[in-house]
Structure 1
Amino acid sequence: MAEKTIAIIEDDKDILELIALHAQKAGFKAKKFENAESFLRYLSTDIPDLLILDLMLPDIDGLEICKKLRSDPATSKLPIIILTAKIDEVDKIVGLELGADDYVTKPFSPRELMARVKAVLRRTSGEEQKAEIIKVGDMLTIDVNRMEVYVENEKVDLTLTEFKILKCLAEKLGWVFSREQILNSVWGSSKFIFDRTIDVHIKKLRDKLGKAGKLIKSVRGLGYKIESE
């Protein structure tokens, strides 16, 4: 199996070297960047298998980098782990909303960070292998590979989080998913996300799906399910 490349954007040289060292010990090739611009230049010649991204960079805000990567088809599926000293829940939710796959706060354990890297790589590669079209009745179509959603052949723009929630529910039609199960499916080990966050996302998802929003059912005291009518 080819050696996977982990790109690291971190302006603190000591932390950058520490992460790179542990990445190499874990069997990865490490590409080190002290600012966003140097990383963006690197993308013109190569794309890593995963990015560890500091939010507070000297040139470009990390959240802007995350947003830029997700909007570019060439990097839209690049796994991203945010590593930052920002610990506010709002910052974490914004980072995940913009498409980050995980969020690690400083100070951190390098071993735990590498475990998260491996978990994200397993999760994202698994999604690629299971690429398929999911249909919910005649109204809703989910293209897992392209990460696109259509309601009666009209494309609906969803955030990455909304897409993951919809995919989670649609993969097992009629199954009732608790909020905790949805949290684990979408955010994995990021336990700082609260149950109420799911309710907010479900409401936004229903609104965006329009008439197909009614396919998402609330099950009092249990959670949510999706079924064709």
Structure 2
Amino acid sequence: MATVLIAEDVEDLTYALTLLLTRAGFTVRTAPDGARTLAEVRAELPDLLLLDLVMPRLNGLDVCRALRADPATAGVPILMLSAYAMPADLQAGLDAGADDYMMKPFQSDELIARCTALIK
């Protein structure tokens, strides 16, 4: 069973994502801020990181760059999930090293499909 680490600071969304991904067969871990996300990834590599762009203590772009700069974590697939929907936001996420970028609100089926594709 693949493990997804959800890095999201909004508790209700974290709960909804956890339910969705668990029902889809994933094991889920969570982190409420950027600093905790880095610690969680380094402690136990997930099969996928679902990363919010705007979080306390360290934003998603900085988390993404830090993970990509570290050889031990550089290979973790990252799906950035954000309410920021401008083309420049998408480009910034991909430039920081995200493998994919989805905008909130999202379609559940599409999110599951993208998670599955990134884990393969």
Give the TM bin, normalised by the shorter chain: over 0.9
- Map of 2:84 onto structure 1: 86
Residue type at the aligned position of 1:46: E
Q: How does 1:26-37 map to 2 (within 5 A)?
A: 26-37=24-35
Shift of 1:92: 0.5
Question: Quick one: higher RCO (CA 8 Å, sep 6+), 1 or 2?
Answer: 2
- Structure 1's consecutive aligned runs of 4 or more residues displaced over 3 angstroms after TM superposition are none
Shift of 1:65: 0.5
Q: Please give the TM-score of this superposition, normalised by the length of structure 1.
A: 0.51
Secondary structure at the aligned position of 1:31 is classed as: strand
Q: How many aligned residue pairs are there?
A: 120
For structure 2, the residue ranges without an aligned partner over 5 or more in a row are: none
Task: Among all aligned residue pairs of Structure 1 and Structure 2, give the percentage whose two residues are the same amino acid.
Answer: 39
Q: 2:99, 2:2 → 1: CA distance?
A: 17
Q: 2:45, 2:68 → 1: CA distance?
A: 13
Which structure has the bigger radius of gyration? 1
Matched, 1:98 2:99: no
Q: How does 1:97-176 map to 2 (within 5 A)?
A: 97-122=95-120
Judge conservation of contact 1:6–1:30 (CA < 8 Å) in 2.
Answer: yes
- Map of 1:47 onto structure 2: 45
Describe the superposition over 1:89-145 as per-residue Cα deviations: whole angstroms up to 9, x where unpaired. 0111121122111110011122211111011122xxxxxxxxxxxxxxxxxxxxxxx
Secondary structure at the aligned position of 1:96 is classed as: helix
Q: Please give the TM-score of this superposition, normalised by the length of structure 2.
A: 0.94
Counterpart among 73, 76, 82 of residue 74 in structure 2: 76
Judge conservation of contact 1:79–1:120 (CA < 8 Å) in 2.
Answer: yes
